[in-house]
């Protein structure tokens, strides 16, 4: 991996990369005051329509907005073709893997993955063993986190196949760019993203239970207004024209799920659930959950309702499963992986652990089940004391950690207090899998607003950018 | 439509209407307390405000006496009072956030902006003339919200549930405001029908934005039985009990038609409406104005619970 940071516009080389030439011209002819003004407008817009995101455990504003950087990130058509093909391939393999785990378990018999890794994994759901899900689809909505380190080099950092969020930002960011910078947008030929919600509804409807006779009734199950992604839940339900339900709105009778409406009970066929497995059904999982619906798992297993994503899909996005994905692609599809994995050390493995502890100052160490940038150590940025404390935690429970080299994440021009400066970015494209697999050309670009920072998570002070995929 | 969504819409409307009516009650109280008689009956206006807003228990468990500062603090800002203006706005906005896709963007943005501005008003800022600026702001925001509802919402079940909330609450509040007069003490030497009595009745009319309208309909000046008739039985007066009940009945009829099913609440609404529509003010006074209003508030409450039972749970 190259040590130097790759800037997607080419700021560091004094030579602008093709796709960015028009943007650079536009930036140089637009005075900074105008940019500041537009940024304020963008913030007012987000605040007024209430696009907010809650950050836990920090006090302060419970409904804060994620900073929006007004300078778009641009991906060329050829770059996107490669990414998109790689995403489809990867999601197919992940889905095949889950179907295998809850079915014949061939990957374990072939000796590629140890059975302990699956059967002792916290994300493995025994209740799903042998269950037939409609169309054999488990990963209806995936968000694949990627980083770029060179002109041709994209790496997958993490797969998210449980309840990935962020797609509403992809859509709203485009919406606001269209309002604020129509002149810039019209100089480019940018692939639209606003059919995402149509595609999502088509995907969900295509996996209705086999015994559903009429147009399927789809509902989005949210944990409620206190969930950090509540805005996104209501936004997606609204765009799809489906009901946004909470646990108490639903009940199960004779293994059929109904919602309580002003006109009496109405049967529900497909639930796009944004509630984690453990909270879905107090009879099957945590008995203290108030977010779920008693009896839902029985209805699901009886084939009377479908859940997206499938229960137990988490086995495929566990950070330690991640290391097996290239092998899965070969095993299930007989193909060579198009997108690369970042070299990853499993601390549960004794040799890897020794390697990690020796080089902890050069590595990023993550909790296998952590998310949102919590529970991780960025070796080179940490103090000696932080590293030592973290090393002690890893030694106490090594199987809970993995480590990766610190990648030189690419940078994009970003409008910060000091003016326009390069900041590190990542990319989360979204893949929809129903009867067919669809990838919307774009994704959520997250940007680390602090100079030099590599942590792009919104819970850690990251912002977002509109992501443009150009058409040929 | 989800019952929970309907329930939230209904309560958004009720809470916004309640905030507005509390502002109206506080305005009339403040006005009454400025009257010359006030020195002799100190505190009676503020005490009566606590009674009509139905929060005697909560208030007196916190404060020994009903001073203007205590009452304003409790009714406008107190976090422990579930019906304080602040809590009404917070609750309305919280409900709106939960069902925002059922609202038009105008409705949501009005509520959200109201909620965002709310922290600017503090107890210290409403001292003196600040009080009226605050109360006017509350009324403005509520009127803007209702205007947005009427002007932008599709006429379907969600609209009817919001209207139901508005009119169940408004009927309740008009009855309570009219009942303020019963709780007000006249100073010992003042006669019924005398100057002070007159000002008290006039203030009640102002509280329901009915001072001018009253004079359009009644040429003989302020007469208690006319005022009672005006606020109870005149359908030209949009805040009168009969107007509110007629609206409730209309909304329920529309829902019955849309859903093809009628419930107990339809019968009850018809019953309350015909009492008001075909009753006479002389009967009201024979029964006693206070007794009549108390009975109305109870009936209206029962109707509210019946609506909940039929649609909202």
The model's pLDDT over B4-33, given as tens digits with 9 standing for 90+, comes to 999 999 999 999 999 999 999 998 888 888
Tell whether A214 is covered by a domain.
no
Edge-to-edge order in the sheet of strand A250-253? A250-253, A256-261, A264-267
Tell whether A227 is covered by a domain.
no
pLDDT above 50 (res A2) = no
CB A423 within 8 A of CB A411: yes
Q: What confidence score (pLDDT) does residue A229 get?
A: 86
CA distance B109 to chain A (A): 6
Cα B271 to chain centroid, rounded: 22
Q: What confidence score (pLDDT) does residue A57 get?
A: 47
Q: Do B311 and A262 touch (CB under 8 A)?
A: yes
Phi, psi of A44, deg, nearest 5? -60, -40
- Identify the domain containing residue B79 by its residue range: 3-312
CA distance A268 to chain B (A): 12
Mean pLDDT of the A257-265 span: 94
- Among candidate residues A405, A432, A447, the one where a domain is terminated: A405
- Residue A381 — pLDDT band, cuts 50, 70, 90? confident
Helix (H, G, I), strand (E, B) or coil at A340: strand
Q: What confidence score (pLDDT) does residue B172 get?
A: 94
A-B C-beta contacts closer than 8 Å: 52
CA distance B20 to chain A (A): 23
Q: What confidence score (pLDDT) does residue B35 get?
A: 73
CA distance A56 to chain B (A): 19
Residues A104-133 pLDDT 10s: 999 999 999 999 889 988 899 999 999 999
Q: Do A83 and A17 lie in a common domain?
A: yes
CB of B12 less than 8 A from some CB of A: no
- Identify the domain containing residue A135 by its residue range: 11-209+305-339+407-469
pLDDT above 60 (res B164) = yes
- Residue A13 — pLDDT band, cuts 50, 70, 90? low
pLDDT above 60 (res A281) = yes
Taking the C-alpha atoms of residue B253 and residue B228, their distance in angstroms, rounded to an integer, is: 28
Mean pLDDT of the B140-160 span: 94
pLDDT above 70 (res B39) = no
Q: Do A440 and A329 lie in a common domain?
A: yes
Residues A179-223 pLDDT 10s: 889 889 999 999 999 999 999 999 999 999 988 888 999 999 999
Taking the C-alpha atoms of residue B167 and residue B238, their distance in angstroms, rounded to an integer, is: 10
Mean pLDDT of the A1-23 span: 77
Other beta carbons within 10 Å of A410: 23
Q: What confidence score (pLDDT) does residue B100 get?
A: 83
Mean pLDDT of the B267-291 span: 92
Q: What confidence score (pLDDT) does residue A1 get?
A: 40
CB A458 within 8 A of CB A211: no
Residues B112-122 pLDDT 10s: 999 999 999 98
Place of tokens 């996005």: A317
| Interface with A, mutate which of B4, B8, B104, B260 (most A CBs under 10 A) | B4
Prior bond of A309 cis (ω within 30°)? yes
Q: What is the dihedral of CA A202, A205, A207, A209, to 10 degrees?
A: -170
pLDDT above 60 (res A418) = yes
> Can you name the residues that pair with A308 across neighbouring β-strands?
A272
**Residue B69 contacts by C-beta under 8 Å, 6 or more apart in sequence?**
none
Q: Do A96 and A194 lie in a common domain?
A: yes
Q: Mean pLDDT highest for which of A13-27, B45-59, B235-249, B278-292? A: B235-249
pLDDT above 90 (res B93) = yes
Q: Do B105 and A248 touch (CB under 8 A)?
A: no
Q: Do A199 and A313 lie in a common domain?
A: yes
Q: Do A104 and A169 lie in a common domain?
A: yes
- Among candidate residues A367, A385, A405, the one where a domain is terminated: A405
| Helices marked H in A264-369 | 296-301, 325-328, 350-358
Contacts of A262 in chain B (CB under 8 A): 1-3, 6, 157, 161, 255, 259, 311-312
Q: Mean pLDDT highest for which of A26-35, A305-314, B56-65, B170-179? A: A305-314
Q: What confidence score (pLDDT) does residue B21 get?
A: 93
Residues A127-184 pLDDT 10s: 999 999 999 999 999 999 999 998 888 999 999 999 899 999 999 999 999 988 988 9
pLDDT above 90 (res A79) = yes
Cα A441 to chain centroid, rounded: 15
pLDDT above 80 (res A283) = yes
Q: What confidence score (pLDDT) does residue B58 get?
A: 93
Q: What confidence score (pLDDT) does residue B130 get?
A: 87
Q: What confidence score (pLDDT) does residue A53 get?
A: 63
CB of B3 less than 8 A from some CB of A: yes
Question: Scanning every residue of chain A, which has its alpha carbon at the shortest distance from the alpha carbon of B1?
Answer: A261
CB of B7 less than 8 A from some CB of A: no
CA distance A263 to chain B (A): 7
Q: Do A95 and A45 lie in a common domain?
A: yes
> Can you name the residues that pair with A428 across neighbouring β-strands?
A444
SS3 sequence, B52-89?
Answer: HCCCHHHHHCCCCCCCHHHHHHHHHHCCCCCCCHHHHH
Q: Do A147 and A66 lie in a common domain?
A: yes
pLDDT above 60 (res A59) = no
More confident residue, B205 or A460: B205
Q: What confidence score (pLDDT) does residue B190 get?
A: 61
Provide the chain B residues 33-92 that lie in CB contact (below 8 A) with chain A. Answer: none
Q: What total number of domains does chain B contain?
A: 1
Tell whether A267 is covered by a domain.
no
Contacts of A248 in chain B (CB under 8 A): 4
Edge-to-edge order in the sheet of strand A363-367? A345-346, A401-405, A363-367, A376-378
| Interface with B, mutate which of A52, A239, A262 (most B CBs under 10 A) | A262
Q: What total number of domains does chain A contain?
A: 2
Q: Do B109 and A48 touch (CB under 8 A)?
A: yes
Mean pLDDT of chain A: 90
CB A379 within 8 A of CB A364: yes
Taking the C-alpha atoms of residue B55 and residue B28, their distance in angstroms, rounded to an integer, is: 17
Taking the C-alpha atoms of residue A330 and residue B15, their distance in angstroms, rounded to an integer, is: 60
H-helix or E-strand containing A307? strand A306-308
CB of A248 less than 8 A from some CB of B: yes
Taking the C-alpha atoms of residue A186 and residue A165, their distance in angstroms, rounded to an integer, is: 29
- Residue A337 — pLDDT band, cuts 50, 70, 90? very high
Question: Scanning every residue of chain B, which has its alpha carbon at the shortest distance from the alpha carbon of A234?
Answer: B101
H-helix or E-strand containing A206? helix A196-206
The pair of three-digit structure tokens given for residue B73, joined into one six-digit string: 């603090």
| Helices marked H in chain B | 3-33, 44-52, 56-60, 68-72, 85-98, 105-117, 130-152, 157-183, 195-207, 211-217, 224-233, 241-259, 264-278, 281-287, 289-307
Percent of chain A with pLDDT over 70: 94
Q: Do A332 and A375 lie in a common domain?
A: no
Q: Do B2 and A259 touch (CB under 8 A)?
A: yes
A209: left (phi over 0), alpha (psi -120 to 50) or beta: beta
Q: Do B98 and A263 touch (CB under 8 A)?
A: no
Cα B25 to chain centroid, rounded: 8
Q: Do A249 and B97 touch (CB under 8 A)?
A: no
Among the listed residues A122, A131, A123, A127, the one whose alpha carbon sits nearest the alpha carbon of residue A103: A131
Residue A397 sits in a domain of what CATH number? Answer: 3.30.1490.270
Q: What confidence score (pLDDT) does residue B192 get?
A: 64
Q: Do B101 and A230 touch (CB under 8 A)?
A: no
Mean pLDDT of the B186-207 span: 75
**Residue B15 contacts by C-beta under 8 Å, 6 or more apart in sequence?**
B88, B89, B91, B92, B95
Residues A187-198 pLDDT 10s: 999 999 999 999
Q: What confidence score (pLDDT) does residue A58 get?
A: 45
Q: What confidence score (pLDDT) does residue B81 get?
A: 94
Percent of chain A with pLDDT over 90: 65
CB of A384 less than 8 A from some CB of B: no
- Residue B43 — pLDDT band, cuts 50, 70, 90? low
Question: Scanning every residue of chain B, which has its alpha carbon at the shortest distance from the alpha carbon of A230?
Answer: B98
Cα B217 to chain centroid, rounded: 22
Tell me which residue in A225, A237, A260 faces B3 most closely, judged by beta carbons.
A260
CB A447 within 8 A of CB A424: yes
Q: What confidence score (pLDDT) does residue A61 get?
A: 58
- Among candidate residues A359, A378, A405, the one where a domain is terminated: A405
């Amino acid at each position: 991996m190259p040590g130097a940071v790759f800037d997607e516009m080419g700021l560091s080389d004094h030579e602008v990369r093709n796709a960015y030439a028009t943007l650079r011209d536009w930036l140089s002819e637009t005075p900074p005051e105008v940019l500041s003004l537009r940024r304020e407008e963008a913030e007012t817009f987000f605040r007024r329509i209430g696009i907010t995101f809650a950050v836990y455990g920090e006090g302060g504003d419970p409904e804060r907005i994620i900073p929006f950087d007004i300078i778009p990130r641009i991906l060329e058509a050829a770059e996107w073709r490669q990414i998109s093909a790689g995403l489809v391939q990867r999601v197919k393999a992940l889905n095949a893997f889950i179907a295998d785990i809850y079915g014949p378990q061939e990957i374990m018999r072939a000796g590629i993955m140890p059975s302990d890794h699956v059967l002792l994994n916290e994300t493995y759901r025994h209740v799903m063993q042998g269950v037939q899900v409609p169309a054999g689809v488990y990963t209806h909505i995936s968000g694949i986190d990627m980083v770029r380190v060179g002109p041709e080099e994209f790496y997958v950092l993490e797969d998210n196949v449980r309840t990935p969020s962020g797609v509403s930002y992809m859509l709203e960011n485009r919406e606001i760019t269209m309002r604020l910078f129509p002149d810039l947008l019209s100089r480019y030929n940018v692939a639209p993203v606003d059919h995402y919600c149509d595609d999502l509804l088509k995907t969900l409807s295509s996996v209705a239970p086999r015994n559903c006779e009429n147009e399927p009734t789809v509902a989005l199950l949210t944990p409620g207004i206190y969930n950090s992604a509540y805005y996104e839940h209501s936004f997606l339900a609204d765009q799809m024209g489906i009901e946004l339900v909470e646990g108490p709105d639903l009940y199960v009778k004779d293994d059929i799920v109904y919602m309580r409406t002003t006109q009496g009970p109405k049967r529900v066929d497909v639930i796009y659930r944004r509630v984690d497995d453990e909270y879905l059904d107090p009879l099957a999982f945590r008995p203290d959950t108030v977010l779920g619906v008693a009896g839902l798992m029985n209805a699901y297993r009886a084939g009377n309702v479908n859940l997206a994503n499938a229960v137990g899909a988490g086995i495929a996005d566990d950070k330690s499963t991640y290391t097996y994905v290239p092998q899965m692609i070969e095993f299930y599809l007989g193909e060579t992986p198009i997108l690369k994995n970042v070299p990853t050390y499993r601390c549960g493995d004794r040799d890897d652990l020794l390697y990690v502890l020796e080089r902890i100052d050069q590595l990023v160490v993550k909790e296998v089940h952590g998310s949102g940038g919590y529970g991780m150590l960025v070796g080179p940025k940490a103090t000696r004391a932080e590293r030592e404390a973290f090393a002690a935690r890893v030694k106490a429970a090594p199987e809970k950690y993995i480590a990766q080299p610190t990648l030189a994440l690419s940078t994009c021009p970003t409008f910060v207090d000091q003016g326009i400066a390069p900041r590190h970015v990542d990319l989360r494209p979204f893949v929809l899998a129903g009867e067919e697999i669809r990838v919307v050309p774009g994704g959520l670009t997250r940007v680390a607003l602090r100079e030099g920072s590599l942590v792009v998570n919104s819970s850690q002070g990251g912002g977002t950018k509109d992501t443009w995929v150009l058409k040929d | 439509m989800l019952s929970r969504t309907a329930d939230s819409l209904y309560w958004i409307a009720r809470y916004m209407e309640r905030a507005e009516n509390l502002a109206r009650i506080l305005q009339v109280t403040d006005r009454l307390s400025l009257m010359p008689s006030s020195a002799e009956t100190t505190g009676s206006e503020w005490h009566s405000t606590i009674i009509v807003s139905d929060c005697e228990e909560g208030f007196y468990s916190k404060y020994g006496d009903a001073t203007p500062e205590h009452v304003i603090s409790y009714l406008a800002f107190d976090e422990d009072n579930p019906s304080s203006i602040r809590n009404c706005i917070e609750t309305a906005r919280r409900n709106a956030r939960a069902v925002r896709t059922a609202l038009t963007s105008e409705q949501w943005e009005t509520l959200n902006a109201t909620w965002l501005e709310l922290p600017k008003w503090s107890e210290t800022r409403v001292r003196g003339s600040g009080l009226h600026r605050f109360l006017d702001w509350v009324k403005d925001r509520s009127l803007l919200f209702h205007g947005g509802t009427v002007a932008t919402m599709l006429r379907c079940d969600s609209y009817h549930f919001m209207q139901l909330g508005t009119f169940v609450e408004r009927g309740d509040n008009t009855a309570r405001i009219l009942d303020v007069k019963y709780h007000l003490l006249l100073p010992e030497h003042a006669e019924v029908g005398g100057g002070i009595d007159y000002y008290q009745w006039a203030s009640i009319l102002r509280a329901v934005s009915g001072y001018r309208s009253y004079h359009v309909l009644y040429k003989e000046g302020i007469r208690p039985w006319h005022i009672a008739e005006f606020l109870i039985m005149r359908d030209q007066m949009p805040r009168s009990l009969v107007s509110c009940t007629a609206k409730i009945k209309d909304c329920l009829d529309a829902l019955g038609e849309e859903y093809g099913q009628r419930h107990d609440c339809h019968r009850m609404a018809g019953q309350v409406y015909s009492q008001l529509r075909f009753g006479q003010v002389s009967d009201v006074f024979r029964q006693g104005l206070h007794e009549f209003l108390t009975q109305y508030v109870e009936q209206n409450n029962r109707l509210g619970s019946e609506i909940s039972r039929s649609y909202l749970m």
